[in-house]
A and B are shown apart, each in its own frame.
Chain A
Amino acid sequence: MILVVSEFGDKLKKITLEAIGLARSLGQDVCVLAIGNGLSPLAEELSSYAKVFVTDGVSHCSNELISAHICEVARKTDARLIFLGDTFFGKDIAPLIATQLDWAFMADCTAIEEKDGLLVTRPIYAGKVITKARVKGNAVCTLRAKVFPEAKKSSSFGKETLGLPQITPKIKVLETKKEEQKRPDLTEADIVVSGGRGFKSRENFQICYELADLLGAAVGSSRAASDSGFIDAEYEVGQTGKIIAPKLYFAIGISGAIQHQVGMKSSGTIVSINKDPDAPIFAISDYGIVDDLFKVVPVLIEELKKRK
């Protein structure tokens, strides 16, 4: 049995369907756990992909409690693999689950095979080396987004309601602030518009948002842009930020340091706009415009407005 811990914002995240897809491709029974608040519609949706365990009415919950609960469900279902996304949720909780269960923990997996036991592929050294790990026994794995094909809907697998374990958490969650989700999630978006140091200021960076909104895109940034305070650090694309692979990626005013390339080079089509013809970003781009972004991007915005 493989247990998938589902993730959702306003709606179900693709990474959960990708995790179910991977689990099915391994020829294993799959069940999904949903923990959160107001889960009825989500549980209904999930039940057409796999058997669902629903733990509803949960908010402001600390990692100790969630992890203890997931461990209980793993034991109850006799799971030998647990899949989560390589998201902040996954990064926070998956290592604890693995330690609590005394299982292996494998992060940011890009392939999982059953070959005389479990063989896990993952990139290391900023993607410069690909390694395979042989896992002895059971494992908790976080999966890289947009690598595994999404599961397809089939019949209804049914639902079961669960409650949280009775432990007194040491951690108090005082506040949860979700930024208003008017743009798609960076790791899930089909189009991403990223800006770099070339924007020169936080005010100028607004052009990125305008372009993104016309394209229905998410906004990202280089480390240089977030370090300079043009945008908050959580939008950073790169080794210390998010690793993404949208269908279309705009790198605007981004020189393309290795640490940024790691986060976006698997994108489908890459468009770069930079006035420095020697910027390394061009070497991994499909289309390049060597020009002043402040001249080119406003024209692109006008063109897209015309089409609306």
Chain B
Amino acid sequence: MQIDKDLVAASATPLVLAILARGESYGYAIVKRVRELSEGELEWADGMLYPLLHRLHRLGYVSTEWRSPPEGRRRRYYAITDDGQAALAEHKKQWMTITRALNGIWKGIELLPFAPGMA
């Protein structure tokens, strides 16, 4: 299944914020988590995550810090801020509304008998 580009773009911010709300993380781990969560259906061009993270940083939704653990590479970690939490709550509300509306109408469609001749 190929998920529509606009839909991927629209869901990127809440997804990233929600992942960071579970604890701070870095780019590669975030992309991996998205893949796991969507069971591989949601495919990003990995690089695109970074401009998004930088935008969230500029807006004050995430804070960031370069850290070099004793083992492994120097990485840039991102953590959600209070503003980010608020933005996430707002996103959540909007997505809930949309899914509720869609679920409502789709349930209705399934109950309808198919008209003869419909493909």
Query: Is B truly associated with A?
Result: no
Residues of A within 8 A of B (CB): none
